[in-house]
């Protein structure tokens, strides 16, 4: 029997890292992913309420074992304050899309209708093109883009996923990294001791 058939399919994973806000941190984190053979689907870096800390949100494909290994290795970087996987059912995930599409008087109305259905904003309109802005879940952005298969897309830009967990301050935000590792990866901790 083929071993590839027994392997679980790579799931889309979203992890959040709280890191020191200093030069070179993004390069260190992204090179760790590269060295470990992970393909990053999206990566966003943003400010937090603490000017000394930045949040990096990374989306990639991987199984449970790969995720656990990556969390452990990312946590070992001295610039990492916290690292955790975001539960997609208990998190708010958003992306921003800017889409420039070719248009003229013959198709402008239908493009406006598509934009209206998805609640996209028309942020620029010229005689030969239209720029649309849409914010939403990655699945919504994907569905919106499929509506333009028959149109000429001139340019497209997606920000990548940015995300926060629902509710108040979560326990992982209040504990040192070693305690988070013990909660998230109990099996790994037993092996290390």
For the domain that residue 147 is a member of, what is the CATH number? 3.30.70.1150
Q: How far apart are CA 131 and CA 123, in angstroms?
A: 6
Q: Domain range holding 48?
A: 3-90+168-192
Residue 28 and residue 76 in one domain: yes
Q: 29-33, 117-121, 122-126: which has the minimum mean pLDDT?
A: 29-33
Q: Which pairs count as long-range contacts for 135-140, CB under 8 Å and 24+ apart, including other chains? A: 135/94, 135/95, 135/96, 135/97, 136/94, 136/95, 137/93, 137/94, 137/95, 138/59, 138/93, 138/95
Q: Residue 99: pLDDT band by 50, 70, 90 thresholds?
A: very high
Q: What pLDDT does residue 176 have? A: 55
Q: What is the DSSP string of 118-157?
A: HT-EEEEEETTEEEEEEEE-HHHHHHHHHTTTTS-EEEEE
pLDDT above 90: percentage of residues in the chain: 52
Q: Which CATH number characterizes residue 76's domain?
A: 3.30.70.260
pLDDT for position 70:
84
Residues 20 and 50 in one domain: yes
Are residue 8 and residue 46 in the same domain, yes or no?
yes
CB of 128 within 8 A of CB of 103? yes
Please check whether residues 44 and 111 belong to one and the same domain: no
- Report pTM: 0.75
Q: Are 24 and 65 in a shared domain?
A: yes
Residues belonging to the chain: 193
Give the per-residue pLDDT at 10.
63
Is 71 in the same domain as 113? no
Number of independent structural domains in the chain: 2
For the chain, the distance separating the N- and C-terminal CA atoms, rounded to the nearest angstrom, is 37
**Residue 178 pLDDT > 90, yes or no?**
no
């Amino acid at each position: 029997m083929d071993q590839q058939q027994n392997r679980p399919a790579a799931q889309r994973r979203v992890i959040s890292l709280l890191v020191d806000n200093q030069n070179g941190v993004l390069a260190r984190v992204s090179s760790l992913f590269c060295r470990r053979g992970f393909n990053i689907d999206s990566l966003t870096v943003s400010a937090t309420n603490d000017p000394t800390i930045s949040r990096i949100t990374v989306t990639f494909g991987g199984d449970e074992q790969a995720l656990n290994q990556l969390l452990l290795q990312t946590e070992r970087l001295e610039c990492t304050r916290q690292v955790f996987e975001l539960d997609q059912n208990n998190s708010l995930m958003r992306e921003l899309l800017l889409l420039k599409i070719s248009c003229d008087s013959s198709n402008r109305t239908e493009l406006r209708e598509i934009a209206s259905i998805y609640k996209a904003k028309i942020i620029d309109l010229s005689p030969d093109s239209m720029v649309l802005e849409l914010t939403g879940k990655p699945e919504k952005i994907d569905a919106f883009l499929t509506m333009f298969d028959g149109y000429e897309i001139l340019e497209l830009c997606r920000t990548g996923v940015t995300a926060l967990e629902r509710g108040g301050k979560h326990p992982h935000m209040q504990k040192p990294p070693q305690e988070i590792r013990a909660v998230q990866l109990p099996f790994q901790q037993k092996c290390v001791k």
